Amino acid sequence: DAGITQSPRHKVTETGTPVTLRCHQTENHRYMYWYRQDPGHGLRLIHYSYGVKDTDKGEVSDGYSVSRSKTEDFLLTLESATSSQTSVYFCAISEQVPNTEAFFGQGTRLTVV
């Protein structure tokens, strides 16, 4: 299995509190992605990174920020969590070229109460 780890795996937090999810890889892949998955919506891209300190927005980036200070770590931050951000979050990694596979983490289930 590819070396990709998400932490925490489960979290319950209160509305208005900041939350940071971590994605850690040992594969030295250039690209890292954060997705959220909700019933009826499939996987939606939040942010992605194409290198250290290089990030870009996905389709549902409002309310989220990311940082990548090291190749192996990609952090997703909810500055002030809302109930609409209750979801399952997945991290993924891939090489730069489009003919290689992406690898996904096991997901983080976040509940905002």
Partner 1 sequence: DAKTTQPNSMESNEEEPVHLPCNHSTISGTDYIHWYRQLPSQGPEYVIHGLTSNVNNRMASLAIAEDRKSSTLILHRATLRDAAVYYCILRDYSGGSNYKLTFGKGTLLTVNP
- Residues of the shown chain interacting with partner 1 in the complex, contacts defined by CB under 8 A: 31, 33, 35, 40-45, 48, 50, 56, 58-59, 90, 92, 94, 96-99, 101-107
Closest approach of partner 1 to the CB of residue 62, in Å:
17
**In Å, how far are 8, 10, 16, 88, 99 from 31, measured between CA atoms?**
21, 24, 30, 20, 13
* Residue owning tokens 């979050």: 89
Of the pair 33, 64, the CB lying nearest partner 1 is at 33
Of the pair 42, 113, the CB lying nearest partner 1 is at 42
Closest approach of partner 1 to the CB of residue 14, in Å:
25
Of the pair 2, 15, the CB lying nearest partner 1 is at 2
**In Å, how far are 9, 91, 105 from 65, measured between CA atoms?**
19, 14, 19
Residue 85, phi then psi, degrees to nearest 5? -95, 5
